[in-house]
Amino acid sequence: MRIDIITVLPELLKSPLDHSIIKRAQQKGHVEIHIHNLRDYSTNKHRNIDDYAFGGEAGMVMMIEPIDRAITALKAERNYDEIIYTSPDGIKYNQKEANKLSVFENIIILCGHYKGIDQRIREHIITKEISIGDYVLTGGELAAAIIVDSVVRLIPGVISDETSALTDSFQDDLLAPPVYTRPAEYKGWKVPDVLLSGNLKEIDKWKEEQSIERTKRLRPDLLDE
C-alpha cells in the first residue's frame, strides 16, 4: 500500500508515523508513506497556499491551485483508490472504514487547515471526506495520523501475531475482553481462575462472555448497529 499525505505541516505528521509498528511496517515494505508539503506547489514566491474568503467570511481558505497541482502531480504517476479530505464535516471514522481503506493500493490524504478548502476541490477532486469525531482540531494532520495508524496495522503482515488485529475491540462490533499478565495475584487482586485453568474451550467461552458483557455495559450502541 502507498499513502500520500498533503499538508502544510509536514513536521507534525512525521513523528507520529515514525515509531513502533508503523515505523517497522514502512521498513519492511508493507506500506510507503509519503508526506508532501503543500507549499511546494504554491504558485507564488511567498509560497502562499491560502487567501481571503469570498463573501466576507472571517478566516483564510486554502486555495484551489496548489492543491490541484499537488494532486494532479501524484495522479500522473499512479491511480488512486481514494482521495480523502480530513474535515469535521466528513463521515465519522470507525473500524469498518479503517478495514475498507486497508485493502486499497494507493490513497491520498489531504489535511485541511484554516477555514477549510475551496469548495470546488471538494466537489471535483476529493472522493471521500472523513471526520475522526465531533470536535474541531486546529488542522487535519492529527486526524490523518490517526487514519494512517489505524489502517496500516490492518495490512497483512504488519502485526506479527496475525490474529491480534482481528481480536481488537470493534473488529466484530464488540469490545475486547480484559487481559492479564503475571503475577497471578498482586496485593490480593486475583486473575480470573479460568485463565489459569489451561482449558482453552472454557477460556474462549469466558472471553466471549466478557466481550458481550463489556459491550452491553460500556457501548450498548455498538450492539444496535
- List contacts with ligand ADE (CB under 6 A): 86-88, 112, 131-133, 135-137, 140, 143
Please, which residue, 108 or 159, has the CB nearer to ligand ADE? 108
Supply the minimum distance, in Å, between the C-beta of residue 35 and ligand ADE. 17
Please, which residue, 83 or 174, has the CB nearer to ligand ADE? 83
Supply the minimum distance, in Å, between the C-beta of residue 137 and ligand ADE. 4
The DSSP line for 177-224 is: PP---S-SEETTEEPPHHHHS--HHHHHHHHHHHHHHHHHHH-HHHHH
Supply the minimum distance, in Å, between the C-beta of residue 152 and ligand ADE. 18
For residues 214 and 175, the answer to whether their CB atoms sit within 8 Å is yes
Supply the minimum distance, in Å, between the C-beta of residue 13 and ligand ADE. 13
Q: How far apart are CA 192 and CA 172, in angstroms?
A: 24
Name residue 52's beta-bridge partners.
Answer: 60
Please, which residue, 145 or 174, has the CB nearer to ligand ADE? 145
- Residue with smallest beta-carbon separation from ligand ADE: 143
Nearest-10 Cα torsion for 126, 132, 138, 139: -30
Supply the minimum distance, in Å, between the C-beta of residue 170 and ligand ADE. 18
Q: Which residues contact 57 (CB under 8 A, 6 or more apart)?
A: 115
Please, which residue, 114 or 170, has the CB nearer to ligand ADE? 114
Chain mean position to CA 66: 24
Please, which residue, 49 or 159, has the CB nearer to ligand ADE? 49
